[in-house]
């Protein structure tokens, strides 16, 4: 379910209409300060909407701004475009909050097959909770302004030849056979797109925000891609190009499943074991050093460390969810808060492993080292903002389950 988020978001971002909007926004940037500010802010908003869409829009906007805005440092503008990615897991396409709200999902499987929540958790308690939106807003305000303020002096600015940023355009001949005419016709896309829009309107009219899950997010961007690419051939081509970037994600998940199995495996006492899995041992450790106030921020920091070894939101959830969700429930912490603590930690340390920035870096002849210093600034600032946010969530009692803790405790066993 995660690979389609990248593929469908990427395909929509390359639609001709979206490209026109990107060029129009780029035309508003007249100074290096405004260029960095706009690119970082737009990337952040788009990554909140859909991380696959945001990553591509950020890179495309950075390229377009570099063409039009004289004197902008290409290292910093690429770093700004990538910095918006720090909010992805707290956004509408975040795999953990959507998994928590997807009916039939195993929300946090633990040893013995029990789960840490017996019903979907509404996005109103995760993505659209006031505290989560405030953290996102603080990042949206602080990070773009700080990155824009630290733009290098003209003597130290690294520029790029606009000729290197020229886009390759694909020709789509109309064809002569009936089949070729159909695949280059707008009619089929209009029919499919309108049908999809009607379904979505009726669906959300009935379900509201609770209807937002991995399935619906992917369907939304599928419908948008079909509409904005106009013809079947153009959309199939866009999907094909976007799929190339998903190969690395797809191959990772079998390995994450193996890690999860090791984390939750129990060696029976009669076979020389303690009867506890590694997940249970780690869970008990966090319970021993935490309380309702400190558990969310400790979970966030731990998730940031785990992300170095499992650099995928879905993969990290499969490994860390079984550990932290039961631990949080033992302390009376809301599953929604624990889940979002993991989500934020996963997104946070992506700032110092900028895998997704590599294509844009390659165009400019740069390396990850060239933007790493700027990304570290984003890491430090966002880490402070997020940590303060979770400390306040705990201190104000927002994280506490309260009277519902005992009831929730009955749905898991460790």
User: Tens digit of pLDDT for each residue in 18-60?
Assistant: 888 998 999 899 899 999 999 999 999 999 998 888 888 888 8
Highest mean pLDDT among 139-148, 242-251, 257-266, 272-281: 139-148
Helical (H) or strand (E) element with 324: helix 313-331
Residues with Cβ within 8 Å of residue 327, at least 6 apart in sequence: 282, 283, 284, 286, 287, 290, 295, 338
pLDDT of residue 116: 54
Q: Which of 86-95, 178-187, 399-408 has the lowest mean pLDDT?
A: 399-408
| Angular region, 184: left φ>0, alpha ψ -120 to 50, beta rest | alpha
Mean pLDDT value of segment 386-398: 92
Res 78 pLDDT > 50: yes
Mean pLDDT value of segment 146-158: 91
pLDDT of residue 47: 93
Q: Which of 77-91, 202-216, 344-358, 400-414 has the lowest mean pLDDT?
A: 400-414
pLDDT of residue 170: 64
Q: What is the dihedral of CA 87, 90, 94, 97, to 10 degrees?
A: 170
Closest to 314 measured CA to CA, from 346, 282, 348: 346
Q: How far apart are CA 400 and CA 178, in angstroms?
A: 63
pLDDT band at 352 (very low <50, low <70, confident <90, very high): confident
Q: How far apart are CA 16 and CA 91, in angstroms?
A: 25
Q: Is the dihedral of CA 247, 242, 314, 218 positive or negative?
A: negative
pLDDT of residue 280: 65
Mean pLDDT value of segment 239-246: 76
| Spatial contact of 212 and 200, defined as CB atoms under 8 Å apart | no
Q: What is the mean pLDDT of the chain?
A: 81
Q: Which of 28-42, 133-147, 204-218 has the lowest mean pLDDT?
A: 204-218
Q: What is the DSSP letter of 91?
A: S
Q: How far apart are CA 92 and CA 214, in angstroms?
A: 9
Q: How far apart are CA 68 and CA 294, in angstroms?
A: 47
Res 171 pLDDT > 80: no
User: Residue written as tokens 């369907």?
Assistant: 219
| Angular region, 373: left φ>0, alpha ψ -120 to 50, beta rest | alpha
Indicate the angle between helix axes 335-348 and 368-395, nearest 10 degrees.
160
Q: Which two tokens stand for residue 302?
A: 């731990």
Structure confidence by residue, pLDDT tens digits, 266-284: 655 444 555 666 666 776 7
Res 326 pLDDT > 60: yes
pLDDT of residue 332: 86
pLDDT of residue 375: 93
The predicted model scores a pTM of 0.82
Question: Euclidean distance between the first and final Cα of the chain, in Å?
Answer: 28
pLDDT band at 146 (very low <50, low <70, confident <90, very high): very high
Q: How far apart are CA 259 and CA 281, in angstroms?
A: 16
Buried b (16+ CB within 10 A) or exposed e, 114-141: bbbbeebbbbebbbebebbeebbebbbe
pLDDT of residue 294: 92
Res 228 pLDDT > 80: yes
Q: Which two tokens stand for residue 181?
A: 């005419």
Mean pLDDT value of segment 285-305: 87
Structure confidence by residue, pLDDT tens digits, 99-121: 888 766 544 443 334 445 567 78
Mean pLDDT value of segment 160-182: 69
Q: How far apart are CA 72 and CA 364, in angstroms?
A: 13
| Spatial contact of 66 and 77, defined as CB atoms under 8 Å apart | yes
**Higher-confidence position of 322 and 90:** 90
Closest to 321 measured CA to CA, from 397, 259, 374, 398: 259
Please count the other Cβ atoms lying within 10 Å of the Cβ belonging to residue 112.
11
pLDDT of residue 413: 36
Collapsing DSSP states into helix, strand and coil, what is residue 400? strand
């Amino acid at each position: 379910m995660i690979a389609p988020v990248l593929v469908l978001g990427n395909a929509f971002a390359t639609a001709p209409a979206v490209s026109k909007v990107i060029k129009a926004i780029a035309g508003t940037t007249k100074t290096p300060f405004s260029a960095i500010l706009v690119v970082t802010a737009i990337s952040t908003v788009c990554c909140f909407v859909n991380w696959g869409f945001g990553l591509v829009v950020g890179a495309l906007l950075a390229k377009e701004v570099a063409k039009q805005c004289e004197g902008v440092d290409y290292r910093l503008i690429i770093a700004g475009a990538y910095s918006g990615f720090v909010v992805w897991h707290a956004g509408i396409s975040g795999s953990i909050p959507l998994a928590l709200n997807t009916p039939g999902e195993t929300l946090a499987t633990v040893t013995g097959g029990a789960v840490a929540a017996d019903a979907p958790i509404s996005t109103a308690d995760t993505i659209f909770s006031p505290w989560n939106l405030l953290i996102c807003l603080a990042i949206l305000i602080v990070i773009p302004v700080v990155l824009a303020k630290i733009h290098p002096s003209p003597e130290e600015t690294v520029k790029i030849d606009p000729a290197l940023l020229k886009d390759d355009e694909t020709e789509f001949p109309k064809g002569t056979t009936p089949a070729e005419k159909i695949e280059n016709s707008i009619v089929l896309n209009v029919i499919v797109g309108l049908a999809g829009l009607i379904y979505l309107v009726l669906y959300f009219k009935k379900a509201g925000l609770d209807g937002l899950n991995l399935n619906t997010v992917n369907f939304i961007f599928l419908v948008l891609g079909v509409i904005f690419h106009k013809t079947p051939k153009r959309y199939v081509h866009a999907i094909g190009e976007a799929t190339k970037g998903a190969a690395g994600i797809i191959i990772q998940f079998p390995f994450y499943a193996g890690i999860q199995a090791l984390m939750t495996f129990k060696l029976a006492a009669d076979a020389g074991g303690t009867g506890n899995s590694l997940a249970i041992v780690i869970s008990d450790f966090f319970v021993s050093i935490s309380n309702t106030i400190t558990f969310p921020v400790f979970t966030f920091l731990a998730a940031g460390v785990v992300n170095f070894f499992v650099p995928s939101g879905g993969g990290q959830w499969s490994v860390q969810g079984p550990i932290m969700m039961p631990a949080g429930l033992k302390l009376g912490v809301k599953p929604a808060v624990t889940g979002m603590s993991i989500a934020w930690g996963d997104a946070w340390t992506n700032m110092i492993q900028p895998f997704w920035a590599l294509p844009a870096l390659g165009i400019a002849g740069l390396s990850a080292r060239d933007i790493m210093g700027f990304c570290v600034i984003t890491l430090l600032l966002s880490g402070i903002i997020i940590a303060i946010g979770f400390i306040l969530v705990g201190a104000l009692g927002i994280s506490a389950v309260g009277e519902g803790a005992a009831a929730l405790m009955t749905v898991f066993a460790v």
